[in-house]
Structures are given as C-alpha cells and as structure tokens.
C-alpha cells in the first residue's frame, strides 16, 4: 500500500503558527465574527500554506449543524427509492455537498406519516433536507427547526422554497406542437394523482387543448413503462379517434409506443407520441422520441445549494424546459 499519511493539521496548529489563539483563528477562517484585518489575513495565509482543512465533524458537532443532507422522497411505498430519477438527484446533491465535506442520504418519506419529518429534524447529524415528490400535508408537517435548510423539488410553501422544471410551459409547448402538426385528438397519460407536481403538467395540457377547442382526455397512471403500455391501450379503447398521446415522462411514452406497435398502429403516422424528460434513450429509440428537456441535475444542484448554504432564495425557482423535436411526433 501507499505512502505514510501524516496526522491531519488541527486549528490549533494553524493558530500557533499564526501566533494567535484558536478562537481568533476560528473567527478568521469562518468570518463568523470580527477580526482585525492583519490577523485575519495572516491566519488565512498560514492555513493556506500549511494546507489546513477543517474537520467537518468537529465543526458540525460544535456548531450543531450536521454532516449530511438527506434527500427525502415521499411516496406510498419504500420502492420510490428504486428510481433512476432519484439516484440522479442524489448524485447531483452529492456533487454540491462534497465540497463542504458533507455527505448525502436517501430516505423514503411515507406519505401517511408526516411525523417522520420530525425525526429528520431532531437528528443532529442532518444538515438539511431536500424533499422530493412533496405533497401539501408533508409541507405542512415540516418542522420549524428545519427552516432555511429545507428545499423541495416539486411544490413548495412559504417556508419551503421550491425548485422544479417549468413543466407547465414544457407541457404546453409539447401539446402546441402536437396541435400545430395537425393532431386534433390528443390524449394525456399522466402520473399518480397524489403527486402535486404532475398536476401542473396536466393543467397545462388541459388549458392548451381547450384553448385550441380540442377535447381534454386524461388518463391517470404512474411513471412506469407498463403504465404507458396499458395507458395507450386504454386511450385507444376509450377514444378510438385518438391521433396523439402526450405522456407525463419518456418512460411512459416508450411504453405507449411499444403498445401501439403491438397493435399495428404506426408512430407517428397514425398516432403521434411525445414524452417529457429527454432521457438519453429518447434519442436512441426507434422512432426517436419527441420530448421536452428536464434539467434534473441542475434542479437538484439548486436545491442542494440552497440547503447547504441556508441561503435566502426565491420561494420558487423554475428551470426552463425545451421542446426537442424528433421522429415520434
């Protein structure tokens, strides 16, 4: 195995080398309190030169701040964690937190047990919380002590800033494209009804089709491939004249395409299919999927940054979604 590791420097070492007390060194480094300019500069220079890195643990214990940011995913069952989307959120959160020596955790938040947020709040090892799939009851149950160090990917509240894709305009753009390319019977395959952040897409769909004088045809489901499959079948059964399907996400769109193919229905000639997310596979599929972008990593990074820095942020931050025209619609 490799070279010897020298014992990590402590604040004491830096303070001594700079000829000040540990307290002053701490103040100089954190900027938490006033220090004379020369002292501050000297301490900082010494710390830099020695390659001092504060121990995040000691900092957190003394400051009462915690060393991990928890990505808490609401849902009816723990399997909401078995989701590539959540892993991606976790990865982006980890990237942001790593610089501060802060780790991340992934936890299931039972929809019917908002009290579990209390556990998170009481856990001194928790630095902050990024909520996913947030619902109103959950938002209402966010403890006061979490204020400033909680953010939501999804809906927010006065106390919980939200970060999300602007799915309203993304959905509207997709539906308008469907309409402008001649489709007149557009069905939407949507997500689970308990999930508020999918409501915005539905509302955008509804108002867009209605503005165009078209009927609104909405089928609830979930975010899986099978949901797309059964949803498409159901749509064609209920409304045989359907000539376009807008799916809440790309995975559902893939399911719809496979179901249509199985029926001998051509995509896009007979029925156009569009999704949402622009996952990598959307570009590879045959036919390549028309969809709208979903900057998941940027959204998660935004939420994580707000939580980590306890920054005052706008109560809602919307990330733009862009239409991606391909072959399926």
Q: How many positions of this chain bind DNA (CB under 7 A)?
A: 31
Tell me which residues in 227-256 interact with a second copy (CB under 8 A). Answer: 251, 254-255
> Can you list the alpha helix ranges (DSSP code H) found in the chain?
11-18, 22-30, 37-50, 56-63, 84-98, 116-122, 136-140, 167-180, 196-211, 225-238, 250-262, 280-284, 296-309
Beta carbon of residue 101, minimum distance to DNA (angstroms, whole number): 11
Tell me which residues in 269-288 interact with a second copy (CB under 8 A). Answer: 280-281, 283-286
Query: Smallest Cα–Cα separation from 50: which of 21, 10, 19?
Result: 10
Distance separating alpha carbons of residues 25 and 240, to the nearest angstrom: 74
Span from 11-19, 254-262, 285-293, 296-304 in contact with DNA (CB under 7 A): 11-19
Tell me the DSSP string of 47-64: HHHHT----HHHHHHHHT
Tell me which residues in 49-68 interact with DNA (CB under 7 A). Answer: 54-55, 58-59, 61-64
Tell me the DSSP string of 197-260: HHHHHHHHHHHHHHHTTPPPEEE---SSHHHHHHHHHHHHHH-TT--EEEESSHHHHHHHHHHH
CA neighbours closer than 13 Å in the CB half-sphere of residue 259: 23
What is the Rg, in whole angstroms, of the alpha carbon atoms belonging to the chain?
A: 25
Beta carbon of residue 95, minimum distance to a second copy (angstroms, whole number): 6
Q: How many positions of this chain bind a second copy (CB under 8 A)?
A: 66
Closer residue to DNA (CB): 35 or 198 = 35
Residue 81 lies near a second copy (rule: CB under 8 A): yes
**Residue 101 interface partner, choices a second copy, DNA, none, CB cut-off 5-8 Å depending on type:** a second copy
- Binding interface with a second copy (CB under 8 A): 1-6, 8, 53, 55-58, 60-61, 66-69, 81, 84, 86-88, 90-91, 94-95, 97-98, 101-107, 114-115, 117-118, 121-125, 140-147, 159, 225, 251, 254-255, 258, 261, 280-281, 283-286
- Binding interface with DNA (CB under 7 A): 8, 10-12, 19-24, 26-27, 29-30, 32-36, 38-40, 54-55, 58-59, 61-64, 124
């Amino acid at each position: 195995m490799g070279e010897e590791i020298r014992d990590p420097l402590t604040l004491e070492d830096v303070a001594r080398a700079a000829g000040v007390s540990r307290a002053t060194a701490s103040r100089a480094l954190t900027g938490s309190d006033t220090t004379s300019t020369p002292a501050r500069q000297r301490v900082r220079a010494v710390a830099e030169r020695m390659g001092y890195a504060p121990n995040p643990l000691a900092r957190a214990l003394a400051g009462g701040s915690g060393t991990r940011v928890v990505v808490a995913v609401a849902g009816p069952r723990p399997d909401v964690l078995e989701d590539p989307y959540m892993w991606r959120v976790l990865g982006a959160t980890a990237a942001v937190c790593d610089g501060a020596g802060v780790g991340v955790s992934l936890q299931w938040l039972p929809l019917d047990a908002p009290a579990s947020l209390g556990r998170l709040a009481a856990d001194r090892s928790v630095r902050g919380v990024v909520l996913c799939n947030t619902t109103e009851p959950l938002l209402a149950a966010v403890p006061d002590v979490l204020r400033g160090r909680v953010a939501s990917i999804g809906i927010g509240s006065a106390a919980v800033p939200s970060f999300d894709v602007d799915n309203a305009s993304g959905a509207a753009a997709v539906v308008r494209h469907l309409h402008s390319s001649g489709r007149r019977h557009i069905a939407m395959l949507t997500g689970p009804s308990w999930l508020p952040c999918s409501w915005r897409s539905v509302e955008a769909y509804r108002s867009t089709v209605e503005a165009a004088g078209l009927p609104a045809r909405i089928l609830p489901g979930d975010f899986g491939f099978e949901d797309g499959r059964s949803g498409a079948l159901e749509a064609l059964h209920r409304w045989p004249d359907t000539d376009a399907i807008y799916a809440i996400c790309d995975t559902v769109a893939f399911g719809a395409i496979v179901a249509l193919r199985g029926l001998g229905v051509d995509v896009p000639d007979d029925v156009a299919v569009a999704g949402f997310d622009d996952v990598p596979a959307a570009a590879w599929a045959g036919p390549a999927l028309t969809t709208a972008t979903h900057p998941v990593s940027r959204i998660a990074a935004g939420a994580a940054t707000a939580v980590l820095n306890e920054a005052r942020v706008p109560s809602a931050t919307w990330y733009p979604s862009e239409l991606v025209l391909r072959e399926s619609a």
